[in-house]
Amino acid sequence: MEDCGLKVENSVVNRYVKSLYDVSVSLKAERQISDEIELLKNSVSALDDYKKYLKKVSLIKKYGENFVEHLKECLDLSKPMENFLLLLVKNKRLSLLIEICDEYLSFLERMRGKKVFFVTCASDFSEIDRKRLTDNLHEVFDGDIECVVRKDPSLIGGVRVQFRSKILDYSVKSRLARLYRAIKGDVYEN
C-alpha cells in the first residue's frame, strides 16, 4: 500500500518528503527544490562514510547547524532548503537526508504530468468511490488525475480533498467545528 505515492516503509521519511513537496508547490519552486535536492544528494553521498557523518551531525545540534551552513555556502542553497535542513537538524533527523532525497526524487518522477489529489476520509474508501471521485475530478480538470487516499478516523465521517494548497473539507469534524463557532457567535465565512 502506498501513501501519497510514497513508500510506506519509513513514515518519517514520507512525512518529510510530503512536507517538502507541499512547500515547493506553494512557493511555485518545484524545479528549484528538485534541483537542490539532487545537488544535495550527490554532494553529501560523495563524502567518505557519509552515513556515519550524518549520524554524528544529527546527534549534536551545533555540528548539524554548522554542516547546514557549510552546505548552504558551498551549494548556494535557497532559504526554503536551508530551513528544511535546519528542521531536520532540530528534529535530529539529518541522518535521513539521503533517504529523504532519494524518496523525494522518486516521488517527483512518479508524479510528473499527473494532477495528484490527496483524499482523506474517516473510513475505508472503496474502489468504486475512488473511481467516481476521479471521474468527477476529470470532468473539471484536464490531464491525468490521481487520487491518493489516506484514512484518518479523527474526521469522524465525510471527506477532505487537497489539490496543491487548496483544501475542500467536507468532513463531519469540520462541520462540527463550524457549528461550534456559530453557536459561540464567532464570525465564520464559508
Helices of type H across the chain:
11-26, 30-45, 50-59, 61-75, 79-90, 97-111, 127-140, 172-184
Residue 142 contacts by C-beta under 8 Å, 6 or more apart in sequence?
A: none
3-state secondary structure (DSSP) of residue 175 = helix
Query: Per-residue pLDDT tens for 97-116?
Result: 999 998 898 788 777 777 77
What's the pLDDT tens digit per position in 1-36? Answer: 344 555 445 788 989 998 899 888 888 888 899 999
Whole-number pLDDT of residue 1: 32
- Reported as a pLDDT band with limits 50, 70 and 90, residue 187 is low
For the beta sheet containing 158-163, the strands, ordered from the edge strand earlier in sequence to the opposite edge, are 144-151, 114-121, 158-163, 166-171
Alpha-carbon gap, residue 130 to 146, rounded angstroms: 9
What is the number of residues in the chain?
190
pTM here is: 0.58
Q: What domains appear along the chain, each with residue ranges and CATH number?
A: 11-110 (1.10.520), 113-184 (3.40.30)
